[in-house]
Amino acid sequence: MFAPETGRFLLPTLLLLLVLSALVAVGSLPHSYIFLVILAIGFSFWAFFASFYRDPRRTPGRGIVSPADGRVLEIERADDRVRIAVFMGLSDVHINRFPVSGRVEAIDDSGEGYRPAYLPDARHNVQRRYTLSTDLGKVEVVQMTGLVAKRIISFVGVGDAREKGERLGMIVLGSRVDLVLPADRVRVSVEVGDRVRAGESSLARERS
């Protein structure tokens, strides 16, 4: 399965490459070294983007789940909030998901610049913040751009309600996603360096 709206160009592109390959095989197109190299490059690019836009099925895990695939980059507690940052590499699934069930109260764009997403200063990059109304109170999911990733895509709008693990959006070509939670309502269950999967891996549990 591919990310929403991407199958419309991935599938036709694959069909075109297969047709060209068949025409070369039967001799209708020149069987030249240059043409074969072009086809090989075409299939390589297709395989890269097919991997990048993959959208595997996920079964929601326990507690408050990760909004992104990747590695836990930072855990910061400040005032009454706790922020967990997840860094997404090029090989990670780039679909971002709802960490808990809730309704989108606001979507705000802010920030400037495209610093490498693994640097502390990246929290000031161009970003999109989703404020969610949940049973825990206000929860925020922040999609941040990076040095290469400069396009943020939303699958939801203000007023939309979604269940935990459902798709929220994606960032094209990596970067990071921050999850901001009310510190008095949760207990963090991961450490910096842990690998997590969107919609499945628990980042925190609600305090009893």
Q: Which residues are catalytic?
A: 175
Buried b / exposed e over 34-54, threshold 16 CB at 10 Å, is eeeeeeeebeeeeeeebebbe
What does each C-alpha distance from 27 to 13, 19, 37 come to in angstroms? 21, 12, 16
Contact 69, 198 (CB under 8 A): yes
Whole-number Å distance between alpha carbons of 28 and 80: 68
Classify 181 as helix, strand or coil. Answer: strand
**Residue 49 identity:** F
Whole-number Å distance between alpha carbons of 82 and 75: 7
